[in-house]
Amino acid sequence: MTSDGVELVRVETEEEAAAFAAGELVAAARAGRAIVLSGGTTPARAYELAAQEEPDWGAASLWWGDERCVPPDDERSNYRLARERLLDRLSVQPRAVKRIRGELGAEAAAAEYDRALDGARLDVVLLGLGPDGHTASLFPDQPTLDERSRRAVPAEPRLDPFVDRVTMTVPALCSAPEVVFLVTGEAKAEAVERAFGAPPGRETPASLIRSARGRTRLVADSAAASRLG
């Protein structure tokens, strides 16, 4: 357990972290949950393992926590990562695949996603962590952190890739009963300490994302967790 009640799943290697996250995804898919996928590169292996372990995702529905404003086949697209590592490897597709249409531009894509999320229940949120403490496309000290009524908003990038973003908001991400951060590697150790071992604050957006009515877990390898007590 970290100081703010986040359950810490500390494993030795990156592969073990991916396997743990894959297991969570598979359980959620089998249970027909609404799953919010993360972008970035870290979840790629977890997606592969999850597809291997359970090729039938017919009961699940998929959402994305954030997206880069690029076409879905662009190599920077979060949807593309999930398609290549997960969806293309399944025998049965999820009953709903709610991707963020980044190619519409940030304003229009965010408005469309916000409407799609109206009344939607999110069950399991998978998130990553940037070295600056961002999660999804919620960057440090940005106005996106103060949004309380919309579920998705446009966002400006503060790190590479420097393309406009669309991100779920703090209340949307916190609405899920299961929030799982998957974080690996030494380069994230300081951000992990700030997000999970220090008081929450707008300078570390990931510290603001905690399940409002359920469980938040941090799945980290020993390198990423090295600065936690």
Query: Which position among 9, 29, 114, 130 is part of the footprint of ligand 6PG (CB under 6 A)?
Result: 130
CB of 95 or CB of 162, closer to ligand 6PG: 162
**Residue among 57, 110, 124 nearest 85 (CA):** 57
Segment interacting with ligand 6PG, rule: CB under 6 A, options 26-34, 47-55, 134-142, 218-226: 134-142
- Distance, in Å, from the CA atom of 193 to the CA atom of 79, rounded to the nearest integer, reads 29
Span interacting with ligand 6PG, options 26-34, 126-134, 173-181, 212-220, rule CB under 6 A? 126-134
As a 3-state breakdown, the chain gives helix, strand, coil percent values, each rounded to 5, of 35, 20, 45
Sheet with strand 7-11: strands edge to edge: 7-11, 215-221, 178-183, 124-127, 34-37, 61-64, 96-97
Which amino acid does the sequence have at 113?
A: Y
Q: Assess 101 for contact with ligand 6PG (CB under 6 A).
A: no
User: CB-wise, 30 or 76, nearer to ligand 6PG?
Assistant: 76
Q: Could you give the residue ranges of the DSSP H alpha helices within the chain?
A: 14-30, 44-53, 78-85, 106-117, 170-174, 189-196
Determine if 154 is a binding residue for ligand 6PG (CB under 6 A). no
- Residue from 135, 142, 207, 211 touching ligand 6PG (CB under 6 A): that is 135
Closest approach, Cβ 3 to ligand 6PG, in A, equals: 22
Residue 1 beta carbon to ligand 6PG: minimum distance, rounded to whole angstroms = 23
Number of chain residues interacting with ligand 6PG (CB under 6 A): 15
**CA dist., res. 227 & res. 136, Å (int):** 22
- Should residue 136 be labelled a site residue for ligand 6PG when binding is judged by CB under 6 A? yes
Question: Residues 6 or more apart from 172 whose CB is under 8 A from it?
Answer: 117, 122, 151, 152
**With binding defined as CB under 6 A, does residue 38 bind ligand 6PG?**
yes
The residue from 14, 24, 66, 147 that contacts ligand 6PG (CB under 6 A) is: 66
> At closest approach, how far in Å is the CB of 46 from ligand 6PG?
11
Distance from C-alpha of 127 to C-alpha of 132, rounded to nearest angstrom: 14
Nearest approach, Cβ of residue 78 and ligand 6PG (Å): 5
* Chain positions contacting ligand 6PG, by CB under 6 A: 38-42, 65-66, 78, 128-130, 134-137
